[in-house]
Amino acid sequence: MEKSYLIKPMLDEDYPVIDYGKGVYLFDMEGKKYLDAASGAVTANIGHGAAEIMEAMQEQAKKVSFVYRSQFTSGAAEKLAQKIAALLPGDLNWSFFVNSGSEATETAMKMAIQYWQEKGIHTKTKVLSRWVSYHGITLGALSMSGHTGRRARFVPLLEDFPVINPPYCYRCPYNLTAPTCNYLCARELNQAIERIGAEKIAAFIAEPVIGASGGAITPPKDYFKTIKEICDAHDILFIADEVMTGSGRTGTMLASEHWDIIPDIVALGKGLGAGYAPIAAAVASEKVMEPILAGSKSVMSGHTLSANPQSCAVALAVLEYLEKNEIMREVENKGEYLRNELEKLIAQYSFVGDVRGKGLLLGIEFVEDRITKTPFPRHALVTQQMVSLAKEKGLIVYPAGAGIDGVNGDSIIISPPLTITTNEMEELIDLLAATFEAFS
Ligand code: PLP
């Protein structure tokens, strides 16, 4: 093979070259078939090769592919913003389109700071967050991320925004169980606010289900209610990072809906364009937009390719596809089926410690000793082993929480396209069992 000058994640590894995708499958140039149980990076929510999306791309390309947002708007961007306002709960009506999840969370952070400035409060500039979290790789987003592995090289450039523990019930730092724990991990936010001073804090950001850094760590019932109450009591905006959990991944448009909370600002990405085009959004409520509309009348952010008509047309087609095929309605049932099947694997393989998640965002944590929950030693690189064994078998799983934070164990995410059928889920389980067998 010719020398590759492409900077890939591991420069000394050979990556299969994908030829095409169809539904939940990817096929490489050698004809090997992979069941994409990760939707890439929890992104290809409607699977690969959907004809409707290709038609929408072609239609838009025939009209216009690019207009600059400071000069023009486009029908595609306007319709997408309207569709999002209609689909999201409460009055989360105002969309700022960007190209990646990192840009979306960073835009959300900037909107929160600007909200307070427009109200004449200039001290509220910090955005608090949790450890074992991931909000993106750009510096503002990385500052908010409690992902020590990804922060490590850039610590001097980052703000210390992560301040509290995540709701990691499997490894509760208090050794308690919800709800008798009284959600102490959420109440840590009170202490952090007291220490830092509410007058300095613009917002608190959290992923409803923790993805990349923890492997679908799912909060107990009243966790987010408690968080939201604390934020409201201290005049702190709540930003839900729904880049991974949004766009139907857990069976509702936003995962926040499962816990009956309406965030002040939401970040969407990944599944919004379902991988057919790069698009993400920071969506703000009327409350957040009110002082901006009455004040400077401009959100201070933007990228050259923001609200790109081609990407907006794709995202609109993806949302219409979800609606037309009533895909979200089936997600909880599919998730439950898959979760039950995964739980059966616990009985068979002693290194499966925990199965968790919401809808079709499921996580499996691996342990050396199930009784003591002792994680595998860091050097064992179990997450990586699982991912590559699965790939050998023709199964794509997403690596998460590879023990990077010293508190969480090795884990993988199972997040197939929401369109997966029962037969395909059976095949997924068989391939996963074969992977575990090879690991044993
Ligand atoms: N927020 C969450 C919850 C994510 O999972 C990710 C990516 O994994 C991001 C933000 C960053 O998104 P992107 O990689 O598109 O910049």
Q: Of the candidates 83, 89, 88, 129, which has an alpha carbon nearest to the alpha carbon of residue 106? A: 129
Q: Count CB-CB contacts under 10 A for residue 221.
A: 12
Q: Please report, to the nearest 10 degrees, the dihedral formed by the alpha carbons of residues 414, 244, 196, 227 taken in order.
A: -80
Q: How far is the CA of 193 from the centre of ligand 1 (A)?
A: 26
DSSP string, 283-320: EEEHHHHHHHHHTT-S-S---TTTT-HHHHHHHHHHHH
Q: How far is the CA of 241 from the centre of ligand 1 (A)?
A: 9
Q: Is the CB of 213 under 6 A from ligand 1?
A: no
Q: How far is the CA of 108 from the centre of ligand 1 (A)?
A: 13
Measuring from atom 8 of ligand 1, which residue has the nearest CA? 212
The conformation of residue 224, written as its DSSP 8-state character, comes to H
Cβ burial 80-94 (10 Å sphere, 16+ → b, else e) = bbebbeebbbbebbb
Complex ipTM > 0.95:
yes
Q: Which of 138, 270, 398, 411 to mutate to test the pocket of ligand 1 (most atoms within 8 A of CB)?
A: 270
**pLDDT tens, the chain, 440 aa long:** 688 899 998 999 889 999 999 999 999 999 999 999 999 999 999 999 999 999 999 999 999 999 999 999 999 999 999 999 999 999 999 999 999 999 999 999 999 999 999 999 999 999 999 999 999 999 999 999 999 888 989 999 999 999 999 999 999 999 999 999 999 999 999 999 999 999 999 999 999 999 999 999 999 999 999 999 999 999 999 999 999 999 999 999 999 999 999 999 999 999 999 999 999 999 999 999 999 999 999 999 999 999 999 999 999 999 999 999 999 999 999 999 999 999 998 889 999 999 999 999 999 999 999 999 998 988 778 999 999 999 999 999 999 975 555 556 899 999 999 999 999 999 999 999 999 999 99
Q: How far is the CA of 134 from the centre of ligand 1 (A)?
A: 7
**CA-based R_g, the chain, Å:** 21
Q: Is the CB of 108 under 6 A from ligand 1?
A: no
- Residue 280 alpha carbon, nearest atom of ligand 1: 15
CATH class of segment(s) 53-324: alpha beta
Measuring from atom 5 of ligand 1, which residue has the nearest CA? 244
Q: Is the CB of 100 under 6 A from ligand 1?
A: yes
Q: How far is the CA of 42 from the centre of ligand 1 (A)?
A: 10
Helix (H) or strand (E) holding 138: none
Measuring from atom 13 of ligand 1, which residue has the nearest CA? 101
Q: How far is the CA of 272 from the centre of ligand 1 (A)?
A: 12
Q: Which of 42, 43, 97, 102 to mutate to test the pocket of ligand 1 (most atoms within 8 A of CB)?
A: 102
Q: Is the CB of 310 under 6 A from ligand 1?
A: no
The conformation of residue 200, written as its DSSP 8-state character, comes to G
| Cα dihedral across residues 45, 48, 52, 58: positive or negative | positive
List the domain boundaries for the chain.
18-49+328-439, 53-324
The structural architecture, per CATH, of the domain 18-49+328-439 is: Alpha-Beta Complex (3.90)
Contact by Cβ (8 Å): 160, 152: no
Q: How far is the CA of 213 from the centre of ligand 1 (A)?
A: 11
Measuring from atom 1 of ligand 1, which residue has the nearest CA? 135
Q: Is the CB of 134 under 6 A from ligand 1?
A: yes
Q: Is the CB of 102 under 6 A from ligand 1?
A: yes
